[in-house]
Structure 1
Amino acid sequence: MVPQSTPGLRRYVRRLLPGDPDRADDIVQETLLRAWRNLTVVAGARSPEAWLSRVARNVAIDWARRHAARPTEVDEDVTATVWEPGEYAYEAVLDRAVLFGALRTLSPLHREALLRVHYQDRTHTEVAGTLGVPPGTVKSRAHYATRELQRILGEQGVTGPAY
């Protein structure tokens, strides 16, 4: 558990590792552990915050290098996990092609808001910060993009869970 007294460090590390808050918390925890082990160095630093930021960045880089260098581990018996196409596999491919075609008809601003909110599972506030617009604008764009997508898919005869 990462202490709540380090919000600035947590924000910094989460910016280093977008989309992986658990890994970011692990890196903050490792950074604080290293600070605790080197209290004299931290106390003697001109700026303890800068020292913590540098250590956190180095830990994140080390993790990324280790992760990139290690081959992906697989189970001994991979035959049990082999995918067999079922009768609905082809329908899923067709639904996906229709959905991508419909997404291309949306304006770039609406499509980006919709994809970030629904497919990247970001909050309106996060998307607003990324795009540099108010959260209400993101909500509006995502809403109108969803309505337009439903209209387009409805005209193509697609109904139900496809959208």
Structure 2
Amino acid sequence: MDDRLLHQRVVSGDEAALAELYDLLSPLVFGLCVRVTRDRAIAEDITQEVFLTYWERPLGFDPGRGTLRAWLATIAHRRSVDHVRAEERRKASLLGPRLFERAPEPPEEGILAADEALRVKQALQSLPPGQREALELAYYGGSTYRQVAERLGLPEGTVKTRIRQGLRHLAEMLAEEGVR
């Protein structure tokens, strides 16, 4: 079926048209996402996001500028690349600064940093076990939300909530102690 016709039906709110469009174009979108992210689960999530975005804002597509197929593929590619870049930034921040990237610290700064690290670890130990375990896996173990959820056997949303609450509690405890 012509994707322009399906687009017109989606604009009018026809859910069946979205289902037909999904059946027609999701293999393309999913395949592109898998190639970029190299992770089938992430690719599934991004594929769903792409079609949900289209369903919520179908007028974002302008048939005069190209095909719906190309437009959805472009969105999928951009989101996949954004995901990969965000993961790279997250992993880089977890690894911290490299020795060769900074000038040596004066000894007193190293002592202060070690003291702050100890205070963070102590504050982490005072968190409820669920929050502490999720934070340790995510920040010290380098795991994604999904990986933490799988390892703990919990829904991803629960893990995100535990991490968010844990970070909030840590920030409050450390602020009281004067740690930034």
For the aligned pair, the TM-score class normalised by the smaller chain equals 0.3 to 0.5
Taking structure 2 as the reference length, what is the TM-score of the superposition? 0.40
Taking structure 1 as the reference length, what is the TM-score of the superposition? 0.44
